[in-house]
Amino acid sequence: MSQRRHRSSLFLLELILVIFFFSLASAVCIQLFVKAHLTERETEALNRAIPLAESAAEAYHKVSGRLEELGTLFPEGRLNEAGDSFLVFYDEDWHPVEEGVYTLAIVPAESSPDGTDGRASGTGQTLKRAVVRVSGGDGVIYELAAAVQIPRAVPAS
């Protein structure tokens, strides 16, 4: 009888170790699946944000940096209350809405990086710079610098 009790206690100990191992392995697998899901969502948002930002930068170039004219190319967008940035909102499926999860913002830059306030040195032309930013609930997804060169008008003599 004591040998039988010894076998059953070994079997019980082995069963406890196996259950512990499988629960540990399943906890690691669940963490990996959660991280994979989050990475997939971030990648999907980035894949949607990049062409959207590139399109907005091209639109900024097409309207020569005039934010008020961007509404013709992005009819779902609008100027903010201060009139210093152009905003388009998107829902979780990237459809334009009034207020949404994702935001495309075109914000003019204050001055050029070399500190010349947008005037191209020695060319008589002005650079209008802007930052195109696509952001979501977690922060900025993608950001792109845009610039358009505006030639100075020469007065007629």
Average pLDDT over residues 19-30: 96
In a domain, 156, yes or no: no
- Give the range of the structural domain holding residue 107, as residue numbers without chain letter: 2-151
In a domain, 43, yes or no: yes
What pLDDT, on the 0 to 100 scale, is given for residue 113? 46
Q: Is the pLDDT of residue 11 over 60?
A: yes
Domain count, the chain: 1
**What would the pLDDT profile of 69-124 be if each residue is shown by its tens digit?**
888 898 898 888 888 889 999 998 889 988 888 999 999 987 544 445 444 455 55
What pLDDT, on the 0 to 100 scale, is given for residue 150? 81
46 phi/psi in degrees, rounded to 5:
-65, -40
80 phi/psi in degrees, rounded to 5:
-75, 180
In a domain, 90, yes or no: yes
pTM for the model stands at 0.70
DSSP letter at 75 equals T
